[in-house]
Structure 1
Amino acid sequence: MDWNLRPARDLGLPPAERLRSLGREPGLVGLAVNAAWRRAVRGYLRAAHGFRVEGAENLPREGPFVMVANHASHLDALALLAALRGPAARRAHALAAGELFFGNTARAALSAYAINALPVWRGRSRRGELDTMRARLAEDALAYILFPEGTRSRSGAMAPFQPGLGMLVAGTGIPVVPCWLEGARDAWPAEARLPRPGRPLALSIGPPLRFPEARNDRAGWQSVSAAAEAAVRGLAPQPAPPDQP
């Protein structure tokens, strides 16, 4: 085996800055906290929402890959994380709104150590930060959880995907796994402070998409996002046909 030793990406950062760093690495404490959190979330989702997963065989066992889904609830990232197992679960990062999940130190610590989130600052993310996330995805064999709509839907209708997904994977061949969450908005709508136990939640996972031929420019990013959006929409439950007279 060839060893490739390098310093941790977050080596030497002050604690508060480390929480918000795109180069944050978990360490032993972070891994233990995250594992305990994942077990607790899986137990809660099963007990309170009858959480079920269809198409789990489409999930890679290891990174790099990106999971994308419709977004209407804070339960969305937790549900996608709960579907992962093995190395992919340990190396999964939800890409979360920095101003919401990293706005103060206590919230940043919970987001970093329990959810293993990485911050994306709306309107403030620079191209260099996206390049860092793209490099880490491939080099560290990570799994990213991304909601390309950019924000939670208040109505439940899915909005068009933004091109950020394409900036991460265009021209790489890294798998993009389309997912559809059904029932998350009822289980924890954006306007509610807490989830509502008893509302069912289901996750459908489709076959991975790859974009090795997509150009790493705006046109390529948009084509990637459009294809992923179509795949996610294709997993949504179809309305039953009307009864025939």
Structure 2
Amino acid sequence: MDWQLRPARDTELSPVARLRSHSREVGLAGAVVQGLWRRGVRSYLRLFHQLDVVGRENLPADTPYILIANHSSHLDAMSLGAMLRGPAARRAFALAAGDVFFGSVRSSAFAAWAVNALPVWRKRTSSKDLNGLRERLEQDQLVYILFPEGTRSRNGEMGRFLPGIGALVAAGPVPVVPCYLEGAYACWPASRRYPRPGKLRLTIGAPLEFSAIANDKAGWMEIARQCEQAVRGLKG
């Protein structure tokens, strides 16, 4: 194996700026905290939600790839992240709403250090930001956890997928793995402050690839359509 040394992407950033940066590196301390967090989340999901994962064999053997799913609860990202194992778990970043999870230093620290989230600002994420996320996904062999609806459902029904997912994968080699999570809305809808016990079932579908679709707005819309169709097709 050929090893290459390079400076950390976030070396020049201040501690606070690093929390909200798409260039943030995990580091040793972060890896320890996130490992403990994943272990705690897995125990919680097993004890209180009896999380059942179907189709784990559909996960690619190697990174990079993107996990997508329907979005109705804060349990969604926890469930997708918890079912990953090995290097994929350590390389996984959840793409989270910046206005929700990165509004203050305290919430940014939790999102960065525990959840390993990267912010996506709903009203000011630029094409440059998306290109940077795409470049890092491929170069660093990461896993992104992404909810293409852009926000949690307020009634439990899946909404239309937005084209941002297309900008990350169009005309490229990175596969997209569709997932469907059942039970999360009943356990922890957006209207509740805290979750309640209830069973969760996560179904993982076959990976999708979009190397033949043009990297333009029409291509992004088509990718969003295909991804939405694949996720809907997993609903029990």
* TM-score normalized with structure 2 length: 0.98
Per-residue CA shift, 1:68-126, capped at 9, x if unaligned? 00000000000000110011000000000001101111110110011000000011111
Distance across 1 between alignment mates of 2:45 and 2:84 = 14
Distance across 2 between alignment mates of 1:126 and 1:233 = 28
Distance across 2 between alignment mates of 1:41 and 1:157 = 25
Distance across 2 between alignment mates of 1:11 and 1:62 = 28
Distance across 2 between alignment mates of 1:77 and 1:2 = 34
Could you tell me which amino acid in structure 1 is paired with residue 5 of structure 2? L
Aligned to 1:125: 125
Distance across 2 between alignment mates of 1:59 and 1:80 = 11
Distance across 2 between alignment mates of 1:80 and 1:123 = 25
Alignment size in residue pairs: 236
Aligned to 2:153: 153
Aligned to 2:225: 226
Please identify the structure whose Cα radius of gyration is greater. Answer: 1
Distance across 1 between alignment mates of 2:50 and 2:64 = 29
Residues 35-74 of structure 1 correspond to what in structure 2 (within 5 A)? Answer: 35-74=35-74
Aligned to 2:200: 201
Residues 1-245 of structure 1 correspond to what in structure 2 (within 5 A)? Answer: 1-197=1-197, 199-237=198-236
Q: SS where residue 42 of structure 2 aligns?
A: helix
Distance across 2 between alignment mates of 1:173 and 1:226 = 19
Q: SS where residue 114 of structure 1 aligns?
A: helix
Distance across 1 between alignment mates of 2:47 and 2:62 = 28
Distance across 1 between alignment mates of 2:19 and 2:196 = 30
Q: Aligned Cα RMSD in Å?
A: 0.7
How far 1:43 moved relative to its partner?
Answer: 0.3
Distance across 1 between alignment mates of 2:174 and 2:12 = 31
Per-residue CA shift, 1:154-197, capped at 9, x if unaligned? 11111110000000000112110000000000111100001102
Contact 1:70 1:147 in 2 (8 A): yes
| Identical columns (%) | 57
Q: SS where residue 10 of structure 1 aligns?
A: coil
How far 1:12 moved relative to its partner?
Answer: 1.9
Contact 1:188 1:194 in 2 (8 A): yes
Distance across 1 between alignment mates of 2:114 and 2:153 = 24
Could you tell me which amino acid in structure 1 is paired with residue 173 of structure 2? G
Distance across 2 between alignment mates of 1:161 and 1:173 = 21
